[in-house]
Structure 1
Amino acid sequence: MFKGKSKAFKATVIGLVALVVVAIAGILGLGLMGGGTRQSAKAESTYTTAEVKEGKLTSTTLLTGTVKANEEQYVYYDSTKGELASIAVNVGDQVTAGQVLLSYDSTEAQRAYDAAVRALNKVDRQIYELSTYGVVVSETGDEQTDGEATANAQRTVDGQMRDLQDARADAADAVNKAQEALNDTSVKSTVAGTVVEVNRDVTKSATSTAQTVVHIVNSGSLVVSGEMSEYNLANIKVGQEVKMTSKVYPDKTWTGKVTYISDYPDNANGGGTSNANAGSGNTSGAKYPFKVTLTSDIGDLKQGFTVNIQVSGNQSGLMVPVGAVMTEDSTNYFVYTYDKASKKIKRVPVEVGGADGANQQITSGLKAGDIVLANPTLDLKDGQEVTVDDNATD
């Protein structure tokens, strides 16, 4: 009896052990399968490529400016010249360059000039007399004594002549200065144009602000002046063509060309700080003066009009997609070129130019025909092998 029970007990234990082993094997199997599933779920990144090609940027920058006269002259009252004697022009008069506009009382200036001329003439007479008559030497009959006297007399004449020549140079300078002062009593036009303002009621005061006496404008020569931000400065160059519109005449368009961009910010904004978000339009950074010269007829444009200026990007050169260019410090730029044979990438430093919404100009580092990754990621390494979607290659 005892032995039979023992065999039955052993059979039961063996059966239970078998079940446990099967269960453990099943659990381990599921674990292994699960591990395999997680490993295969980590999909490798697939990149697209683009060929470096010659192209042209299509960016557009909007600026504003004010229509001003390219040639104009303001004549301000100068109290140091005395009282105004006359104003020779009226509003609406057409004047030419060199024409007298106004005159100050020249009485004192004329007296000073006349005195300077008399002083110069006096020195000239002294030089003439000294050079003509010299110094009289009384001869004694003694050859040695007379020779010494003559030599001393000649030295005296030479010294007096040098002093007179110096005096004449000073007198001539005085005449020139007096002549300039006399000329300054008449103010002449420096431009040809139309007299648009005449003020005959100026007051002589050392503390008063500048008072305009005459204002002349050449209305046939207009320019558009404005200020651009430091961000626009990088993308706009002298010589670029522009289109302009005015709210006064919304159906009309004028053309022009950027003819001047200052290398220095204006005094009012030169020390400002720039907003980090350049795209927001809220900038308090430096403002750089610029000018646009009209290349079309002036038409209905008038001085003082505010115009909208559309500057179309005309930069051409090697282009890559904007997403292909990367940087780690906002200063040094690079791309990853792709070699089809080895399927490996290479990090290449580049220099960039302008950009628009789709393309980035490359000024150095690449050549036409190079293949670059169009959508690189930060985890890429130089020399790494990557998977490329050939169907998405440009």
Structure 2
Amino acid sequence: MKKIWIGIGIVLIIVLFIGINLYRSAAQTGGSAITDVKVGKLEEKEIAATVMVPGKLKFKNEQSVYYESEKGELDKVEVKPGDKVKKGTVLLTYANEQLKLEQEKNELALEANRLKIEQISDKKKALNNKGKELQKELGEQKAREQIESERSELDMEEKTAQLELKQSLLEEKSLEHQLDRLEVKSDIEGTVISVDQKAASAKSDIQEPVIHIGDTDHLIVEGMLSEYDTLKVKKGQKVTLTSDVIQDLTWKGTVSSVGLVPDQQAETAAAAASTAEQAVQYPLEVKIAGKLPQGKPGFKLIMDIETDKRKAKTLPQKAVKKDGDQYYVYTIRDGKANRVDVKIGETADDQMEIKEGLSGDDQVILNPSDDITDGTDVKA
């Protein structure tokens, strides 16, 4: 009895297997499966052409103070990292003994010149009194003749003394200016980023700043434009900023300036290149709007510059497929997928511009899977 049940089970399994194969064969020979698809038509949307440029985050205003040996020895640094400074704040001072000695000599020369002028003035007064006495004795004409040479000599001495005084006054102003330069002041309002007093004594071909100040409240992004892109990028255009380091965040900005002449360093590099021609590049500056990036100056950012906004006929980007250099879509014709080659334009916000190949009435498959080919049975 047990053997009979085992035989019945084997027969049922064989019948089931044959039934499945017959069903598959019927499906293949009797007609293909119908694929459900989502369809849509060309839509007129506003798209923007963009230029993507790498850039670097920088302070809009910054100041680097380097050691200047001609001013003397570094005396005192008046600030430390993190200090907020205003324009005109004293940052560091120099000590210059030679200048102080010259100032003292100048003060003595000024005093001597003034004393000399006073002495000449006293002599001229005495000469005038002498002239009055001679007029009483000899008459006005003879008295004038007798003291004329002495008066001329005093006039010449007075002119010389005045010139010497003027020269000493000019030297005084020059020394005051040099002494004033011994105090180095901030040119901007900002934050002290770094202080390195060792830079004043370092012996290196590359000089480092003793003090670095930056305006941390106003950052910009600087980059370079090619000759081609500089024709499209204009002041005031909108910019979207992203970073590979600070992911999932974007910032907005506007183009604040585009260089009228090529960057000098790029030109120098181009001139120095002997084996390959270097592309001419133009400086670009973007002003950040709203909240500033979390990154520090020096961080690399990507600038996506909106250069042209216009109306265009578009499809979702996933509706367009590519075969080599040819772009194409699938439309529905008589219940079947129909491949149509298209010419595309700009791509923006997951929308692709369709320039040629479709009419406004065409039903386009918006979600073509890899299984769909030309002639596949589909149902919208």
Aligned to 2:103: 113
Give the letter aligned to residue 251 of structure 1: D
* Secondary structure class of the residue paired with 1:225: strand
The alignment status of 1:142 with 2:142, answered yes or no, reads no
Q: Describe the shift of the 1:234–1:150 C-alpha distance in structure 2 as closer, same or farther (beyond 3 A).
A: farther
| Mapping 1:1-394, distance limit 5 Å | 58-134=48-124, 136-137=126-127, 141-143=137-139, 144-202=141-199, 204=201, 208-270=205-267, 272=270, 284-314=278-308
Tell me the alpha carbon deviations over residues 88-132 of structure 1, each in whole angstroms, 9 at most, x when there is no partner. Answer: 222222222222222222433222222222222322232333335
Once the two structures are superposed, what CA deviation does each residue of 1:19-65 show, in whole Å capped at 9, x if it has no partner? xxxxxxxxxxxxxxxxxxxxxxxxxxxxxxxxxxxxx9943211121
Amino acid of the residue matched to residue 307 of structure 2?
A: G
SS of the equivalent of 2:65 reads strand
* Alpha-carbon displacement from aligned partner over 1:270-313 (angstroms, at most 9, x marks no partner): 2649xxxxxxxx98221111211112210423211111112212
Shift of 1:67: 0.4
Alpha carbons 2:241, 2:302 under 8 Å: kept: yes
Paired residue for 1:376?
none
For the residues of structure 2 that align with 1:357 and 1:133, how far apart are their CA atoms? 97
Counterpart CA distance in 1 for 2:146 and 2:126 is 10
Rounded to whole Å, the distance in 2 between the matches of 1:174 and 1:105 is: 20
- Given that 2:49 and 2:309 are in contact with CA atoms closer than 8 Å, whether structure 1 keeps it comes out as no
Q: Structure 1 length as normaliser, TM-score?
A: 0.58
**CA–CA distance in structure 2, aligned partners of residues 154 and 215 of structure 1:** 63
Distance of 2:259 and 2:157 partners within structure 1 = 57
Three-state SS of the structure 2 residue aligned to 1:235 is coil
Q: Quote the Cα distance in structure 1 between the aligned partners of 2:146 and 2:260.
A: 72
Can you give the 5+ residue segments of structure 2 that lack an aligned partner in the other structure? Answer: 1-45, 311-343, 347-380
CA contact (8 A) 1:96 1:192 kept: yes
- Counterpart of 1:83, as a letter, is E
Per-residue deviation, 1:209: 3.9
* Alignment-derived partner of residue 11 in structure 2: none
Deviates more, 1:76-85 or 1:154-163: 154-163
In structure 2, how many angstroms separate the alpha carbons of the residues matched to 1:159 and 1:250? 83
Contact kept? 1:104, 1:185, Cα under 8 Å: yes
SS in 1 for 2:252: strand
Q: Which runs of 5+ in 1 are unaligned?
A: 1-55, 274-281, 317-355, 359-394
Q: Note the C-alpha offset of 1:79.
A: 1.5
Give the structure-2-normalised TM-score: 0.60
| Cα drift, residue 215 of structure 1 | 1.2
3-state DSSP of counterpart to 2:197: coil
Shift of residue 234, structure 1, vs aligned partner: 1.6
- Could you list the structure 1 runs, at least 4 aligned residues long, displaced by more than 6 angstroms after superposition: none
State the Cα distance separating 1:261 from its structure 2 match.
Answer: 2.2
Give the deviation of 1:205 after TM superposition. 7.3
Distance 1:161 1:284, change over 3 A: same
- Tell me by how many angstroms 1:149 deviates: 3.6
| Greater Cα offset, 263-272 or 62-71 | 263-272
In the TM superposition, what is the alpha-carbon distance from 1:208 to its structure 2 partner?
A: 4.9
Query: Structure 1 residues 253 and 202, CA, compared in 2 at 3 Å: closer, same or farther?
Result: closer
- Mapped partners of 1:155, 1:97: distance in 2: 55
CA distance in 2, matches of 1:315, 1:169: 68
Distance (Å, rounded) in 1 between the aligned partners of 2:154 and 2:124: 6
- Cα separation, 2, equivalents of 1:262 and 1:169: 48
CA distance, structure 2, for counterparts of residue 233 and residue 220 of structure 1: 28
Partner-residue secondary structure (3-state), 2:283: strand
User: What is the rounded CA distance, in whole Å, between the counterparts of 2:203 and 2:174 in structure 1?
Assistant: 23
Residues 79 and 205 of structure 1 are in contact (CA less than 8 Å); yes or no, is this contact kept in structure 2?
A: no
On the 8 A contact 1:241/1:257 being kept in 2, the answer is: yes
Pair 102,146 (structure 1): closer, same or farther in 2 beyond 3 Å: same
Counterpart residue number, 1:25: none
Question: Secondary structure, in 3 states, of the residue corresponding to 2:301?
Answer: strand
Mapped to 2, the partners of 1:127 and 1:181 lie a distance apart of 28
CA distance in 1, matches of 2:233, 2:106: 56
Q: Higher helix share goes to which structure?
A: 2
User: How much does 1:136 deviate?
Assistant: 4.4
SS at structure 2 position matched to 1:59: strand
State how many pairs are aligned. Answer: 258
